[in-house]
Amino acid sequence: MQRRDFLRKLAITTGGITVGGAVLSACGGGSSTTADGLSIGTPQNPIKLPVSTDPIADGLANESGTLEILNWADYMNPESIAAFETQFGVKISTSIYDTEEGAVAKLRNGTFKPDVILGMTDTGLAKLIAADILQPLNKSYIPNFGNVISGLRNPYYDLESQYTVPYFIYGNGIGYRTDVIDKSAFAQNGYEVLWDAKYNGRLAVLDSYRDTLAMAIFRNGGNDANSSDPDEIKKAGEALIEMREAVNPKVDILGYQEIPAGNRDIQFLWSGDMFTAVQYMPEGLDPGVLGFWYPETTVTKNDFMCVTKAAKSPVLAHQLINFLSDTDSALKNREYVGYQPALETITVDTLLASGTIPESLVDALVTPEKYASGLAQVTLEPAVDALWLEQWTAFTAG
């Protein structure tokens, strides 16, 4: 797509959304609440979340004992955990979740009772607020909040960052083997490379209906990652079926293992996966074979940390958030996790200088500019969600 074309489409689309938002607020009384009662902020319609309790008081002493964390698997460096334990003289115990929906369900029914939740995204946030699970943060415990990328200090999903502090950022794009595919292929053909029959049996897309269908929408020339246009959604589904016929793709999230292992050449994935892939590189092989194409039109996301209302150690919970927002601790944490901390103090140059990122993956780094131009994904209305799921089933049913 031509740059000018892209800008024009952007203008048309954002204009459309603004109109839609205006109509919505006319009907719904001016809030960003969807028809089903969820408070969902969008970049066009940011939201200040309701607050039902006060944050903890200033200057409280740290609790002792155990700090309970709820986190994705391998999403915090064990060395960072040990460092925090030593510094604060406490034990950290971690529970693992593998889907946001599952985590919210288990938080609601009391299976999980953590102090801190790591790695939730805005789609989960709306539900956590609706279920009244979180407590507002007292920033006096989080001086490192100032390190956060400026564009994320007042995010659309949580204006004034009442509940959340960003953890990692990433963008959707294409990871590939530089020894098989040349960078220029993407400059010429963009997303179309994923439809190239040359890569039959060597290609995969993300096992995430929102991400992969949105990618197909972008490939078709659209730029709405939350499209509610039945025609556009259907065409995206058809594009994926076309891909299925041409390249018999796999649908999983294993690119970070399979690409370095040489089992596949190309995958649509989250940028952070490619940094994780560096650690999966077979002994003696140059990580320079890992490449990443960061599309001009794509989804950029971040996840965040938050404290539960029922936290037994709320002060420690704040301390952990502060700890992970410290530049050095975040760099240490990143060494293991791979993903990129949402800190302004950790620039592309810092990361390159750390020697842990091969030159070939510079494009996978999310710069503040890329973050600003990235598209956001928000929770879909049930009826629209059903349209997306219908197309996804048609694709995955083979």
Partner 1 sequence: MKRTPRLWTLFALPGTTWLVALFAIPFYAVACVAFGTIDPIFRDAVPQWNPLSWDFTQASQTLASLTSGPLRGVAIRTVVYVFCAMVISFTIGFPIAYFLARHSGKRKLLFLALIIVPFWVNYLMRMLAWVNLLSSDGLFTRFMRLFGVNYNWLDGSPITVVLGLVYGYVPFLILPLYATLERLDWRLIDAARDLGANSRQAFRLVTMPMSKAGLVAAGILIALPMFGDYYTNDLLSRSPSTEMLGNQIDFFLNGSSQPQNGALLVIVLSIFLLALMSFYLRSTRQQARQTTR
Contacts of 185 (CB under 8 A, 6+ apart): 193
Q: Which of residues 30-69 bind partner 1 (CB under 8 A)?
A: 36-38
Contacts of 243 (CB under 8 A, 6+ apart): 194, 195, 205, 216, 249
Nearer to partner 1, 348 or 394 (CB): 394
11 is a site residue for partner 1 (CB under 8 A): no
Strand ranges, E, within 46-182 = 66-71, 91-96, 116-120, 165-177
CA distances from 176 to 181, 212, 352 (A): 7, 16, 20
196 is a site residue for partner 1 (CB under 8 A): no
384 is a site residue for partner 1 (CB under 8 A): no
Which member of 17, 180, 352, 394 binds partner 1 (CB under 8 A)?
A: 394
φ and ψ at residue 96, rounded to 5 degrees: -115, 140
Which member of 244, 309, 312, 332 binds partner 1 (CB under 8 A)?
A: 244
Which member of 61, 73, 187, 397 binds partner 1 (CB under 8 A)?
A: 397
Q: Which of 49, 52, 36, 25 is nearest to 379 (CA)?
A: 36
Contacts of 38 (CB under 8 A, 6+ apart): 126, 127, 130, 379
Contacts of 283 (CB under 8 A, 6+ apart): none
Q: Which of residues 105-144 bind partner 1 (CB under 8 A)?
A: 105, 108, 127, 130-131
Tell me how far, at minimum, the Cβ of 30 lies from partner 1, in Å.
Answer: 20
Tell me how far, at minimum, the Cβ of 179 lies from partner 1, in Å.
Answer: 14
Q: Give the number of residues in contact with partner 1, rule: CB under 8 A.
A: 37
Which member of 83, 180, 251, 352 binds partner 1 (CB under 8 A)?
A: 251
Strands 266-270 and 165-177: antiparallel
Nearer to partner 1, 19 or 383 (CB): 383
Give the SS3 label for residue 151: helix
Give yes or no for a contact between 116 and 97, defined as CB atoms under 8 angstroms apart: no
When computed from its CA atoms, the radius of gyration of the chain, rounded to whole angstroms, is 21
How far apart are the C-alpha atoms of 151 and 121, rounded to whole Å?
Answer: 16
248 is a site residue for partner 1 (CB under 8 A): yes
Which member of 261, 278, 281, 310 binds partner 1 (CB under 8 A)?
A: 261
284 is a site residue for partner 1 (CB under 8 A): no
Contacting range for partner 1; rule: CB under 8 A; set: 53-61, 112-120, 137-145, 381-389: 381-389
246 is a site residue for partner 1 (CB under 8 A): no
Tell me how far, at minimum, the Cβ of 15 lies from partner 1, in Å.
Answer: 29
180 is a site residue for partner 1 (CB under 8 A): no
Contacts of 149 (CB under 8 A, 6+ apart): 166, 169, 342, 343, 344, 368, 371
Nearer to partner 1, 15 or 201 (CB): 201
φ and ψ at residue 277, rounded to 5 degrees: -60, -30
Sites of contact with partner 1 (CB under 8 A): 36-38, 99, 101-102, 104-105, 108, 127, 130-131, 201, 204, 207, 209, 244, 248-252, 254, 261-263, 382, 385-386, 389, 392-398
